[in-house]
Amino acid sequence: MCARRARRSERGAMAVEFALVFPIVFAVMLGVIQYGVYFWGRSTAAASARESARQLAVGTDWTCSHDQAVANTNRAGKNVVVTRTYLNDDNAAKIGDLVQVTVTAKTLAPSLLPVPDSGAITEVATARVENIPSTPVAC
């Protein structure tokens, strides 16, 4: 009789344990997915900025470089803005000067948990201008 009562008193314990553990496991899993998407967006924006700066350093046309950076970053973010700045007095391309490309976007990660800067991504890349062709390099 005593063994029967012990078995009966444990009925439903597994359901209670599951109900206690499931929200924690679900929150951790959701956090891993959300931060994974956020850091994927940052990585994509950084790669787009580096590639665009490299292209501008060798004389590629700005519109081609800009469009490619926007297209690449759009895969991992939204509201993408790509800007370039030549780091000299007149903001013009000169051999030996630096070109800086800034890519800003908003992450595609859901906003269920807090992410840095509320999901705003800003990545900057700099390259030294090596070539200014008479006609810009085609796309």
pTM for the whole structure: 0.81
Mean pLDDT, the chain, integer: 90
Kindly indicate the confidence band of residue 138, based on its pLDDT and cuts at 50, 70 and 90: confident
- Please report, as a single letter, which amino acid is at residue 88: N
E strands, 13-138, in order: 77-86, 98-107, 120-128
Query: Beta partners for 81?
Result: 104
Backbone angles phi and psi of 132, in degrees to 5: -125, 95
Q: Alpha-carbon distance 119 to 104, whole Å? A: 11
Mean pLDDT over 23-46 rounds to 94
Domain ranges of the chain: 9-129
E strands, the chain, in order: 77-86, 98-107, 120-128
Kindly indicate the confidence band of residue 11, based on its pLDDT and cuts at 50, 70 and 90: confident
Which is more confidently placed, 86 or 7?
Answer: 86
